[in-house]
Amino acid sequence: MAYTVAQKIIKAHLVKGEMITGLEIAIKIDQTLTQDSTGTMAYLQFEAMGINKVQTKKSVAYIDHNILQTGPENADDHLYIQTVAKKHGIYFSKPGNGICHQVHLERFGVPGGTLLGSDSHTPTGGGIGMIAIGAGGLDVAVAMGGGEYYITMPKIVKVELLGKLSPWVSAKDIILELLRRLTVKGGVNRIFEYAGEGIKTLSVPERATITNMGAELGATTSIFPSDEITYEFLSAQNRETDFVELKADAGAVYDETIQIDLCTIQPLAACPHSPDKVVLVSSLKDIKVDQVLIGSCTNSSYVDMMKVSKILKGKNIPEEVSLSIAPGSKQVLSMLSKNGGLSDMIDAGARILESACGPCIGMGQAPSTDAVSLRTFNRNFKGRSGTVSANVYIVSPEVAVASALTGYITDPREIGIAIKVDMPEKFTINDNLIISPAEDGTDIEIKRGPNIKPFPKAEKLKENVGGKVLTKLQDNITTDDIMPSNAKLLPFRSNIPYLAEFCLTPCDENFPAVAKENGGGIIIAGTNYGQGSSREHAALAPLYLGIKAVIAKSFARIHKANLINNAIIPLVFENTHDYEDIDVMDELIIEDAAEQIKRDVVIVRNITKGVKYKTLPEVTQREKEMLIYGGLINLMKNKKKDGE
């Protein structure tokens, strides 16, 4: 039988189920990654499992999100993660070492392997030929403990790249083109597998820019084959022994095919406030720019940074523009500092930021009121920058730097002859910010700061589940809406009672108060509910507020899994018109809930209006059990008790 690259890796890691599209499968996870804003919770859950040492081939804990230390909370959480990592067999990447996805690609990713990360952009690893998937912290904790990871076998989409990009057009424009065509929900339950002669023109970091932003399509993951370009990258990282060749078999069958002729792509931009509002950069040319930010896990590689520094060399940023640059890792920063690239940036007037997520998650650099901000990042959801009135555009490094120089959104083809940067033959390797775990962690004491509060526990499903409709939301609600994360809130990622006070407030200011007054209830939403990040806080905060079910037109993958892990029932309207019928404060009830969930159709009765709605749980057998037993932790406890 002929297999695609993704199928080959899945097959080699298949623990349960069959590789049939739409059916549940379980795969063995080789590597895990966590970052600090989801990591604290993941390690608390790992500790609760009582396993001494991680069972993976490699697990790495990164510190890159909660970097501003304006009080003790973040530093306390970092110390917790550092000590937990040392004790339980996990590598620890210290603050300053860089953004998890960039560093993982450089130092740890292995073609042909599986990677599960508590961050939605984990698919960055697909650039090196891994099946790399983002998940909630609890799923990552289970994988660290040696447990399998469950997904619905996705459709495999072949993305055939033809030809070669024109000068000034870059990898970012390829993924923006896909977002333009498919939208933020176009990738749900799909793996995008890149193929065609065009892939040979893309280096590993460029491939990673594309797989990284596959997350914005809602995809399960994205992947490139592992070829001579992958070998060159690994060899430049002194990791040639990690190389294995991986290509699709002749005659491999894909569920869908998309063709992109690279020669026809032009510089693109995603307009406020969604990564799929993509237009030609040239159509935005009179828009004045206040802020330009270059970096993030999407575009902070050595080559990206060198392009930027070469364009900036000998020039000056105009007085009205603020340009900040965050190289993605210590490796990149160190190489820029040695070859003079960094001084070219500084001399042009750029502010150099720490190698971390920084402004991408609102950790500083919030733009001024009503500002236009151009970013090489991957998400431009309203308010994510820290300034609700800001207009954020997502662009390539080339567009960002050209615009920073002119002060207006600029098609870089207008500023002269394109510069070329080659991949280095050897990267500078210095892993002194990566701390190895202890051989024997028995005597390591875990340091827990006062910021760590117990997390809410889900309960066994009651016979009748009901409550008032607390809020009614539109399409494409993001996890940034459900659980806002900015510099003020991120330090409280291990304090759910505090965070719950802000749950859904960007959409409905009174939501936490109304939820409390009514002793919890039900959320009604449109399509693609919970798109964006992997943060399980977007399920834990609603759990704390007593949310029993979310009834939506459709759900985003990771958020739906997080709801189920925490026993909040996700239900999909069979008839989307029923959405219109429901009003806030209607009293809904699901009678005989467990039996209904088992039968795959759940009738929701609207007591206030005296009508019934047919909804579909769209869950697997295992997920049904989770909902009935009260979430993943309770299910695991029960299975242990039963000796399974």
- Mapped onto helix, strand or coil, the DSSP state of residue 104 is helix
Q: 67 Cβ partners below 8 Å, 6+ apart? A: 74, 95, 354, 356, 357, 358, 363
Minimum CB distance to ligand MIC, residue 105 (Å): 15
Closest CA to 529 of 518, 539, 543: 539
Q: Which is nearer to ligand SF4, 378 or 531 (CB)?
A: 378
Q: Which parts of this chain interact with ligand MIC (CB under 6 A)?
A: 37-38, 65, 119-121, 134, 361, 379, 485, 532-535
Cβ 194 vs Cβ 207: under 8 Å = yes
Minimum CB distance to ligand SF4, residue 65 (Å): 6
Q: How many residues bind ligand SF4 (CB under 6 A)?
A: 11
Minimum CB distance to ligand MIC, residue 472 (Å): 24
Give the footprint of ligand SF4 on residues 575-594 (CB under 6 A): none
Give the footprint of ligand SF4 on residues 61-120 (CB under 6 A): 65, 99, 119
Looking at the DSSP assignment, which residues form a beta bridge with residue 158?
193, 257
Q: Which of 78, 88, 121, 560 binds ligand SF4 (CB under 6 A)?
A: 121
Is 392 among the residues that bind ligand SF4 (CB under 6 A)? no
Cβ 493 vs Cβ 40: under 8 Å = yes
Interface mask toward ligand SF4 for 350-389; x: CB under 6 A: -------x--xx---------------xx-----------
- Mapped onto helix, strand or coil, the DSSP state of residue 372 is strand
Q: DSSP label at 128?
A: G
615 makes contact, choosing from ligand MIC, ligand SF4, none, with CB < 5 to 8 Å by partner type, with: none
Interface mask toward ligand SF4 for 295-334; x: CB under 6 A: -xx-------------------------------------
Q: Which is nearer to ligand SF4, 322 or 486 (CB)?
A: 486
Q: Which is nearer to ligand SF4, 112 or 187 (CB)?
A: 187
Q: 374 Cβ partners below 8 Å, 6+ apart? A: 269, 289, 291, 292, 293, 392, 393, 395, 399, 400, 403, 404, 409
Q: Which is nearer to ligand SF4, 124 or 606 (CB)?
A: 124
Minimum CB distance to ligand SF4, residue 51 (Å): 26
Q: Which is nearer to ligand SF4, 33 or 188 (CB)?
A: 33
Amino acid identity of 110?
Answer: V
Q: How many CA atoms lie within 13 A of 105 on its CB side?
A: 35
Minimum CB distance to ligand MIC, residue 506 (Å): 14
C-alpha 567/C-alpha 289 separation (Å) is 45
Minimum CB distance to ligand SF4, residue 287 (Å): 23
CB atoms within 10 A of CB 422: 8
Cβ 78 vs Cβ 493: under 8 Å = no
Minimum CB distance to ligand MIC, residue 318 (Å): 30
Cβ 226 vs Cβ 239: under 8 Å = no
Q: Is the dihedral of CA 207, 212, 215, 221 positive or negative?
A: positive
The contact set with ligand SF4 (CB under 6 A) reads 65, 99, 119, 121, 296-297, 357, 360-361, 377-378
